[in-house]
Amino acid sequence: MNSIIEVKGLAKKYKNGFQFGKVDLSIKSGRIVGILGENGAGKTTLLKCILNILHRDSGTVNILGKSLEEFDSEIKENIGLVMDDVFLPEILNPKEIDSIMGNLYQNWDSSEYYNYLNRFNIPLDKKIMTLSTGMLKKFQIAAALSHHPKILILDEPTNGLDPIVKNEVLDIFTDFIKEKGNTILLSSNITSELEKISDDIIILDKGNIVLEGEKDKIIDSYGIVTLNSKAFDKVDKKDYLSYVVDDEGYHLLIANKSNFKKKYKNSKIKDIDLEELMILMVKGVK
């Protein structure tokens, strides 16, 4: 598979001291890549730097084989966005937005757009600025999909959606990826969503990538071992990545369940989900 987005040495420093990077990242064509991390970890910063919405201090970004300095009509045409910033005149209504988008995108599909608006029950004559959080997200998703992009870049796209619509949107994203060459880069705090649809995951902590890889391989390999203090003291530190402590004991994050089981034959290793993995990667004692 070819890389559709290549990031090398990307760094961004804020005046408040928060520093992002340096980050290397390769997003493969035809994948759904989920970005996890607690609030303030740098998820939105990463997406905005990739899109050149935020100025990066160093590093390079290539999209569809072109650098951001060559950000041209082909790149613009092939990226659909859903972010906190709407990037459209909010005093207009969805019907008026249709004519604007038709001028912005060669592949704008009015029929597709209105199908999505109808499917999401979005009023045509209501100003964008007056839409609720959930309605606004649905409008953004409709607009992002209706110029037939190859890449969707989504920042918390299901925020504010009820469970029924949320599942419908996730199904739409899954259908989108079935078309050859389409790719999704998606940030979310809702680990169950990313567990459901992601092919690859990235976990961010304080502006750094602490884990990345194929979701299924990570879930199959990683695990949790819970031990009392006496048993914990007998485990070599290099045999676990991190741990947290509570009333039940020490919960160790294991990167290779098979190897750990061979060395500590009586250990009981619990399978892990993305929420537990993120907590132990971010909050665990290293």
Task: Give CA–CA dist 226/252, Å, rounded.
Answer: 6
pLDDT reading at 2 higher than 80: no
**Residue 225: closest CA among 248, 201, 247, 192:** 248
pLDDT reading at 68 higher than 80: no
**Residue 207: closest CA among 32, 44, 5:** 44
pLDDT reading at 210 higher than 90: yes
Please provide the CATH number assigned to the domain covering 3-217: 3.40.50.300
For tokens 């399978």, what's the residue?
271
How would residue 46 be classed by pLDDT, with cut points 50, 70 and 90? very high
3-class DSSP state of 167? helix
- Are the C-beta atoms of 158 and 188 separated by less than 8 Å? yes
In tens, the pLDDT along 70-98 reads: 667 788 899 999 998 878 899 999 999 99
**Residue 27: closest CA among 191, 156, 154, 128:** 154
pLDDT reading at 264 higher than 90: yes
DSSP of 61-115, one letter per residue? EEETTEEGGG--HHHHHTEEEE-SS--S-TTS-HHHHHHHHHHH-TT--HHHHHH
Cα atoms in the 13 Å half-sphere on the side-chain side of 67: 5
Task: Give CA–CA dist 26/164, Å, rounded.
Answer: 33
In the chain, domain spans: 3-217, 222-283
Task: Give CA–CA dist 248/233, Å, rounded.
Answer: 16
**Residue 204: closest CA among 4, 3, 28, 45:** 45
Measured between alpha carbons, how far apart are the two ends of the chain, in Å?
34
**Side chain identity, residue 45:** T
The region, left, alpha or beta by phi > 0 then psi within -120 to 50, assigned to residue 6 is beta
Whole-number pLDDT of residue 74: 83
In tens, the pLDDT along 4-29 reads: 999 999 999 988 888 888 899 999 99
User: At a CB cut-off of 8 Å and minimum separation 6, what does 42 contact?
Assistant: 18, 20, 204, 206, 207, 208
